[in-house]
């Protein structure tokens, strides 16, 4: 099997939860670049940000994305991964289905509110998230083959929607 889809979107959009479900429904592998970075660095994302800095995290992330996209199944990219132009170019060049999981601050807030493993949102998570989304939305939309709103829908319903889109396009 090759890559069946790539999930992009901001923190709290449900990439990890939905990605794992899509993979399960398709009987495919699932890779999450944050987990891959953590395994390869033997540290949590937060520890990498604190001990090594964001720039170093972004290098590890770009390398992890390359590895993940050489694999198979469903791949969820960390929220900021596609802001690296080389990563965005790689995603574009592969011409695979890219799903942008869109979400409002109202739905994202409860998911990200108390999660200490999101170092970029430390301080004022709400304002940080809104600012990230404002900067990134155009890139997410530009790369997306299709956009799925995750507001007020269960992960199962979102995953079923994505599986339908993938099967419909195949
Ligand atoms: C980040 C999102 C996080 C993680 C890191 C930076 C971002 O992943 O990669 O904390 O820049 O938006 P999730 O999108 O899975 O939360």
Atom of ligand 1 nearest to the CA of 136: 12
With cut-offs at 50, 70 and 90, classify the pLDDT of residue 90.
Answer: very high
Q: Is 64 in the pocket of ligand 1 (CB under 6 A)?
A: no
- 78 Cα–ligand 1 center, Å: 5
| pLDDT of res. 1 | 72
Q: Which is higher by pLDDT, 102 or 123?
A: 102
Residue 32 contacts residue 6 (beta carbons within 8 Å) = no
Find the 28 Cα to ligand 1 centroid distance in Å: 23
% residues pLDDT > 90 (the chain): 84
Tens digit of each residue's pLDDT (9 = 90 or more) over 9-34? 999 999 999 999 999 999 999 999 99
Give the pLDDT band of residue 168 (cuts 50, 70, 90).
Answer: confident
pLDDT, tens only, 104-124: 999 998 887 756 667 888 888
In the prediction, which pLDDT does 123 show? 80
Task: State if residue 14 touches ligand 1 by the CB under 6 angstroms criterion.
Answer: no
Per-residue pLDDT at 115 = 62
Contacts of 106 (CB under 8 A, 6+ apart): 151
Please state the φ and ψ torsions of residue 80, each to the nearest 5 degrees: -100, 0
17 Cβ partners below 8 Å, 6+ apart?
155
Report pLDDT digits (tens) over 32-84.
Answer: 999 999 999 999 999 999 999 999 999 999 999 999 999 999 999 999 999 99
Per-residue confidence (pLDDT) for residue 169, from 0 to 100: 76
Mean pLDDT, to the nearest integer, of 148-156? 94
Return the closest-CA partner of residue 81 out of 160, 8, 132, 23: 8
Cα–Cα distance measured from residue 144 to residue 99, given in angstroms and rounded to the nearest whole number: 5
Among 79, 102, 122, 137, which is best to mutate for testing ligand 1, by the most ligand atoms less than 8 A from CB?
79
Top-confidence residue, 123 or 153: 153
Q: Whose CA is nearest to atom 8 of ligand 1?
A: 78
Q: Which residues contact 65 (CB under 8 A, 6 or more apart)?
A: 33, 77, 81, 87, 90
CB distance 78 to ligand 1 below 6 Å: yes
What is the per-residue pLDDT for 110? Answer: 85
- Res 109: pLDDT: 86
């Amino acid at each position: 099997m090759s890559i069946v889809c790539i999930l992009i979107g901001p923190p709290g959009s449900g990439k990890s939860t939905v990605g794992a479900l899509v993979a399960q429904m398709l009987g495919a592998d699932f890779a999450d670049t944050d987990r891959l970075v953590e395994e390869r660095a033997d540290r949590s994302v937060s520890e990498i940000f604190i001990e090594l800095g964001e720039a170093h995290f972004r290098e590890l992330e770009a390398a992890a994305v390359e590895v993940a996209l050489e694999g198979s199944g469903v791949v969820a990219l960390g929220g900021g991964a596609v802001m690296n132009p080389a990563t965005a170019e790689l995603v574009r060049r592969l011409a695979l289905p890219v799903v942008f999981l869109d979400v409002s601050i109202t739905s994202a807030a409860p998911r990200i509110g108390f999660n200490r493993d999101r170092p970029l949102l430390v301080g004022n998570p709400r304002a940080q998230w809104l600012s990230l989304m404002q900067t990134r939305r155009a890139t997410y939309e530009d790369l997306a083959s299709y956009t799925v709103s995750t507001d007020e829908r269960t992960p199962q319903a979102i995953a079923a929607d994505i599986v339908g889109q993938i099967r419909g396009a195949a």
